[in-house]
Amino acid sequence: MARSTDADRVIRKPFAALRGLDPESRWGLAVLVPIILLGSLVPAFSPYHPEVAGTGIPLQPPDLTHLFGTDDLGRDVFVRTFAAAQLDMTLAFLGVAGPLLIGTFIGAVIGTTKWPLVSGAWMILIDAINAFPFIAITLAIVALFGSGPQGILAALTLTNWARYAKLARARALVVGKSDYFFATRVLGYSRPRVLLRHVLPNVYSESLAYGLSDFVFVILVIAGLSFLGAGTRPPTPEWGAMMSDGRLFLTTAWWIAVFPGLALSVTAVGVALVADGLERRSRE
């Protein structure tokens, strides 16, 4: 008896949730889910190693043995593209989640604080960070923390939180003027309780919606940084890095840059579709 209901929960409920999604989100997922799956399956089952050079004939065009061809170091582009998918999506997820959590929390706090000076001071910091040219700040942080995944994540977290904070603060200001917020004061609720149960739940949905579209942005940032050489280090496969490496061969071995570029675009579109669909649903 218990086993069948567990199966119900694991299988039936997610499918029911999927059925509730509108066509946009469904297309988006139809695109993303295969990429995520292939991202884990392909590197696991491919006979080729994504990083070791010299195992194959370099600059081979796509054929049945190498579906996406090989790059200048003889590596299989197909396995590299999907190994990169894993890395890029994970980094992008962390690169959104970190700023989202930190920024939303800070925004919620300063939006409902009693002390106008606190709110004012933080807003100066937030506006300053948001105003700074993103590339400059990011490169500076990467220079400090070193390149590679930790540098990228540090750069994203230290800068992007400010956008979420601004969004959350705007929502929190509205919450702070609502009667149910005043009620918590009359009811003598403690500040942590009010923040956790009354402010944050009413504030996070905008951040979440923004986060989904931010996901696309972050993927592009990671690719861009790696393209510039400030992101992941070779031989780690990463879409931006692959596109950068493939630049030199665009006319001769186009597949080296084009396939990761395609994968990047398709992923970005997929996320955008899911984000749009969810946003539309939350609006109803």
Partner 1 sequence: MPGPLIEAKDVTVRFGYGSEAIDAVRNASIYVNANEAVGVVGESGSGKTTLARVVVDLVQPTAGQILLDGVPVIHAGSRGGFPRADRWKVQMVFQDPYSSLNPRQRAWESVAEAIQVWQRVPARVARERALELLRSMGITEDQAGRFPRALSGGQRQRVSVARALAPRPQALIADEPTSAIDQSAQAHLLNLLRRIQKERGLALLFISHDLGVIRYLTSRVYVMKAGEIVEWGPTERVFQQPEHPYTRLLLDSVPGRRVVRRTAAVVP
Nearer to partner 1, 48 or 105 (CB): 105
**Does the footprint of partner 1 cover residue 280 (CB under 8 A)?**
no
b/e for 93-109, b at 16 or more Cβ within 10 A?
A: ebbbebbbbbbbbbbbb
b/e for 180-206, b at 16 or more Cβ within 10 A?
A: ebeebeeeeeeeeebbeebbbebbbeb
**Does the footprint of partner 1 cover residue 202 (CB under 8 A)?**
yes
The only residue of 5, 40, 178, 252 in contact with partner 1, by rule CB under 8 A: 178
CB of 172 to partner 1, least distance (A): 14
Q: What tokens does 125 get?
A: 């910091």
How far apart are the C-alpha atoms of 201 and 102, rounded to whole Å? 15
Say whether 195 sits in a helix, a strand or coil. Answer: helix
Q: Which residue reads 């991202």 in tokens?
A: 39
**Does the footprint of partner 1 cover residue 201 (CB under 8 A)?**
yes
Nearer to partner 1, 183 or 250 (CB): 183
The only residue of 66, 80, 166, 198 in contact with partner 1, by rule CB under 8 A: 198
Nearer to partner 1, 61 or 201 (CB): 201
Max CA separation in the chain (angstroms): 75
Q: Which residue reads 């942080």 in tokens?
A: 141
**Does the footprint of partner 1 cover residue 33 (CB under 8 A)?**
no
CB of 112 to partner 1, least distance (A): 13
CB of 188 to partner 1, least distance (A): 3
Whether the bond into 235 is cis, omega within 30 of 0:
yes
Q: Which residue reads 């292939």 in tokens?
A: 38
**Does the footprint of partner 1 cover residue 281 (CB under 8 A)?**
no
The DSSP secondary-structure symbol of 189 reads: -
Nearer to partner 1, 40 or 178 (CB): 178
The size of the interface with partner 1 (CB under 8 A), counted in residues, is: 15
How far apart are the C-alpha atoms of 207 and 104, rounded to whole Å? 7
Rounded to 10°, the helix 255-283/77-111 angle is: 30
The only residue of 5, 23, 182, 281 in contact with partner 1, by rule CB under 8 A: 182
Adjacent-strand bridge partners of 70:
76
**Does the footprint of partner 1 cover residue 193 (CB under 8 A)?**
yes
**Does the footprint of partner 1 cover residue 15 (CB under 8 A)?**
no
CB of 279 to partner 1, least distance (A): 18
**Does the footprint of partner 1 cover residue 187 (CB under 8 A)?**
yes
**Does the footprint of partner 1 cover residue 64 (CB under 8 A)?**
no
Given a contact cutoff of 8 angstroms between Cβ atoms, the answer to whether 220 and 268 are in contact is yes
The only residue of 15, 45, 115, 180 in contact with partner 1, by rule CB under 8 A: 180
The only residue of 54, 133, 179, 192 in contact with partner 1, by rule CB under 8 A: 179
Residues that bind partner 1 (CB under 8 A): 178-180, 182-183, 185-189, 193, 197-198, 201-202
